[in-house]
Amino acid sequence: MIYTLTLNPALDYDIYMDSFQEGDLNLSKEVNIRAGGKGINVSKLLANLGIKSKALGYTAGFTGDFIKKNLYDEGIESDFVELDGITRINVKINNNSKETEIAGLSPKITKEAEEKLIEKISKLQKDDILILSGSIPGSIERNIYKKLAEMLPEGTKIVLDTRGNLLKENLNGNFLIKPNIAELEEMFETRLSTTADIIKKCAYFLERNVKNVIVSMGGKGALLVNKEGAYLAEAPKGELINSVGAGDSMVAGFIAGIETGRSPEDSFRLAVASGSATAYSYGLGEKDLIYRLYNEVTLKKEGV
């Protein structure tokens, strides 16, 4: 079974407008409210590809109820620990495809709530896949992902998708990590302007036993680095609508590929297609578009 963990879910409030002026009254052209948070998006895209997963994490209040109902309506199993307060609301302003994000405040995770989560994770088996996605609220230890990963039997596939130093501090021989280029630059405190620069930095992860590193680069595509080599994929062509959830879609696409018996390279093609399908949609990418784009994604092997 595939499990996604979202410690910090969000109700995403997407606002589309023709112009946005700070300090003025700005009128919305269209709004879209959706259940978000990194692991939740992964579960939703997997469901779009017909793959079952169970969403774990924390929810609170009416926004948390909205998320649970949305997952239920989409046929996705969930088992969240309930907190006091409300699950945060993240506002995403899309002003003619220029994206501005305002992240809300997360509810407090108590010691008791942490123990409830640990109990659920401790039941996972070696053949399960655990996808640890998104930010870690300040009320829980910074290395919680590593602590959870260490509880699982050796060889369990664990995916880690979180930002900057949190990524560094939570590495644990992961099956997949997916930093975007800005996150990688933040972590290494340097500009990475060439493919060769990026590949060199990825060695840091391979030396720490990470099996697959995908570095996503928005509209420029992505790079897969593993011990077989490095592969560059351009994003397939299309019209950008909204890239929120594109990175999460990429994680889901790669795992969907592995789960359906594809090689890491073909799983990477499915990952790129899934990310771009989401960027070319109002919500997350749907199956038909993902497979159409999959046929358009080709890989270029890079020297390592």
Ligand X SMILES: Nc1ncnc2c1ncn2[C@@H]1O[C@H](COP(=O)(O)OP(=O)(O)O)[C@@H](O)[C@H]1O
Q: Which residues participate in catalysis according to the annotation?
A: 248
45/86 with CB nearer ligand X: 45
Question: In the bound complex, what is the minimum distance in angstroms from residue 132's beta carbon to ligand X?
Answer: 15
Which of ligand X, ligand FBP, none does residue 222 bind (CB under 5 to 8 Å by kind)? ligand X
179 touches ligand FBP by CB under 6 A = no
> How far is it, in rounded angstroms, from Cα 9 to Cα 105?
11
CA atoms of 272 and 289, how far apart (whole Å): 12
Per-residue CA distances from 193 to 196, 204, 248 (Å): 9, 17, 24
Return the one option of ligand X, ligand FBP, none that residue 219 interacts with (CB less than 5 to 8 A, by type).
ligand X
Q: What is the largest CA-CA distance in the chain?
A: 55
**Residue closer to ligand X, measured from CB, 114 or 183:** 183
The yes or no reply on residue 8 touching ligand FBP (CB under 6 A) is: yes
Minimum Å gap between C-beta 287 and ligand X is: 16
Show the site string, 205-244: x = touches ligand FBP by CB under 6 A, - = not: ---------------------------------------x
Shortest Å, Cβ 297 to ligand FBP? 18
Q: Which does 240 bind (CB under 5 to 8 A by kind): ligand FBP, ligand X, none?
A: ligand X
Applying CB under 6 A, among 3, 36, 48, 53 the residue interacting with ligand FBP is: 36
The residue from 57, 134, 221, 264 that contacts ligand FBP (CB under 6 A) is 134
Would you state the structure tokens that stand for residue 157, as one six-digit string?
């596939």
> Helix 181-188 crosses helix 195-207 at what angle (to 10 degrees)?
70
8 or 276: whose CB is closer to ligand FBP?
8
- Which among 4-12, 58-66, 252-260, 292-300 is the span making contact with ligand FBP, rule CB under 6 A? 4-12
Residue with tokens 């979180």, as numbered in its chain = 162
Residues at the contact surface with ligand X, assessed by CB under 6 A:
180, 216-219, 221-222, 235, 240, 243, 246-247, 250, 272, 275-276, 279
246 touches ligand FBP by CB under 6 A: yes
